[in-house]
Chains A and B, each alone.
Chain A
Amino acid sequence: AQRVTQPEKLLSVFKGAPVELKCNYSYSGSPELFWYVQYSRQRLQLLLRHISRESIKGFTADLNKGETSFHLKKPFAQEEDSAMYYCALRDFGNEKLTFGTGTRLTIIP
């Protein structure tokens, strides 16, 4: 069965410091990986997906199949990055998303 692990429930980082939110997955096929974000009092929304290979709001994530990881990174944290971040996996040919338990990121001014 597919599984997504986010080892950090809480992460606090100073403004301007680098951010890395960890995500590991277990899946035997060819997964599609996503990062979703939920800002305070807003609904869950897509941040980025691995196949797009794009940078959104300064965040990037690289799929490492050898380490089965999809860590989210940003070189310089901003206060507006404070939010709940969820890593999610979808296998090709399937529709549902399997989510991790989430990491609450707090940026300290």
Chain B
Amino acid sequence: GAGVSQSPSNKVTEKGKDVELRCDPISGHTALYWYRQSLGQGLEFLIYFQGNSAPDKSGLPSDRFSAERTGGSVSTLTIQRTQQEDSAVYLCASSSSGLTSYEQYFGPGTRLTVT
């Protein structure tokens, strides 16, 4: 089937506005991850979901960032009162958890620009 999809592919917003980024994981994948790719910073972990719960939110940079996942499928990352430093590519990945090592499959990303 299709891979991980993300929408929108590009988002330009004004400083102070809220934005929502969407991720559709591979069907049947129970684990879902959000990462952020900033210029020169590599990929930074934000949050991990197993089913609808988030056992690891340690990477969320501030309380302006939140994420939810419903029905064990689609996830939304919300950034409130956006700041210029939030400009980055936001990547979503999914995987099928198991007892053995598994691969994270990445989406194409959402490029967020805060003006």
Contact = CB atoms under 8 A, between A and B. Distances in A.
Given A86-B43, A102-B42, A97 B104 contact: yes
Nearest to B58: A96
A69 interface: no
A46 interface: yes
A32 interface: yes
Nearest to B4: A43
A12 interface: no
A99 interface: yes
Interface stretch (B17-25, B60-68, B78-86, B106-114): B106-114
Contacts of B41: 101
Nearest to B6: A43
Contacts, number: 51
Contact of A95 (B4, B31, B106): B31
A43 B48 contact: no
Interface residues of B, number: 27
Interface bracket on A: 20 to 34
Contact of A44 (B44, B45, B55, B91): B91
B42 A95 contact: no
Contact of B48 (A86, A95, A101, A102): A95
A97 B42 contact: no
Interface centre among B43, B97, B107, B109 (most CB of A within 10 A): B43
25 contacts: A6-B42, A43-B107, A44-B43, A44-B91, A45-B105, A46-B103, A46-B104, A51-B101, A86-B42, A86-B43, A94-B56, A95-B33, A95-B55, A95-B97, A96-B45, A96-B48, A96-B58, A97-B33, A97-B43, A97-B104, A99-B35, A99-B42, A99-B44, A101-B42, A102-B42
**Closest 9 pairs between A and B when the two form their complex, measured CB to CB:** A101-B42, A99-B43, A44-B106, A96-B45, A99-B42, A95-B48, A46-B103, A43-B108, A43-B106
Interface of B: 3-4, 31, 33, 35, 40-45, 48, 50, 55-56, 58-59, 91, 97, 101, 103-109
